[in-house]
Amino acid sequence: MTSFRVLISAPYMLTVIDRFRGRFERLGIALSLAEVRERLEEHELLPLVGDIDGTICGDDRFTARVLEVATPRLRVISKWGTGIDSIDLEAARRLGVRVCNTPGAFTNPVADSVLAYVLAFARRIPWATASMRDGEWAKLPSIALNEVTLGIVGVGRIGSAVARRARVRSPSPRERHRADPPAAHSGDRAVAYVARRPARPSGLRELELRLEPNLETPDRSRAACETETGGSPYQYRTRTDRG
């Protein structure tokens, strides 16, 4: 016999709800499954919350009005994810509703997406794909990750996960930490992972670089590129003589 009823409105959980049905049944919890595409707005929640003891939600709008309709029966809101800004926390405290979240639930997927975008923009994959579909085979100027510094602003769970992924792409990374600036979240800090450039080949006596600008770059940036090693946004050609 069930003694509690829980509303499930987290989209990612709804797609795999069968994995959890047995556990809920053993605990005597009946499920109410919401039809939701992305999130439930206030007017969509109002008819659903009158007879529930708890909810596992996504970014649904649990406003003060929704909470007032749901209480006193509603006792807990559990967010499938981290952010709880869509929940009226002051109203929840006033009405005795506990609000929980699941830190780290999406850390790895989001970090994967961040690195995917870094690689896509560095290598200009979307533009190359569009060019190929147009029947071209354009040689687009791009960036190699070992030529640049990856800066991460705000190194919490996701930022740290991005940094770990970036490190394995560089054989000899160096870490730089700066003191924490005044911030709302203590522990956030700026970290840069710098890939060292490959050593010069053994026996190399002469290396001629001819820089060919591929992008419009301010003079100051161009001078820095030329002074360094001719990395992006420049291509370089080499001529070597070996002893």
Query: In the chain, where are the structural domains located?
Result: 4-100, 107-198, 199-243
Would you tell me which CATH number, out of the four given (3.20.20.70, 3.30.1490.20, 3.40.50.720, 2.60.40.1180), belongs to the domain 4-100? 3.40.50.720
- CA dist 230 and 228 (Å) reads 6
Is the full-model pTM beyond 0.75? no
Q: What is the pLDDT of residue 185?
A: 36
Residue 185 identity? H
Q: Which of 56, 62, 58 is nearest to 24 (CA)?
A: 56
Say whether pLDDT at 115 is over 80: yes
Average pLDDT estimate for 96-122: 92
Say whether pLDDT at 198 is over 70: no
Q: What is the pLDDT of residue 33?
A: 97
pLDDT, mean over the chain: 75
The residue among 208 and 65 whose pLDDT is bigger is: 65
Highest mean pLDDT: which of 32-46, 146-160, 196-210?
32-46
Distance between first and last Cα of the chain? 86
The residue among 30 and 185 whose pLDDT is bigger is: 30
Q: Are 172 and 121 in contact (CB under 8 A)?
A: no
Q: What is the pLDDT of residue 144?
A: 87
pLDDT in tens, 44-97: 999 999 999 999 999 999 999 999 999 999 999 999 998 999 999 999 999 999
Residue 187 identity? G
Say whether pLDDT at 162 is over 70: yes
Q: What is the pLDDT of residue 65?
A: 97
Q: At 34, list the tokens.
A: 């919401």
Q: What is the pLDDT of residue 58?
A: 95
Least confident stretch, 19-28, 103-112, 161-170: 161-170
What is the per-residue burial (b if ≥16 Cβ within 10 Å, else e) of 17-32?
eeeeeeebeeeebebe
The residue among 178 and 17 whose pLDDT is bigger is: 17
pLDDT-derived band at 149, boundaries 50, 70, 90: confident
Average pLDDT estimate for 136-150: 86
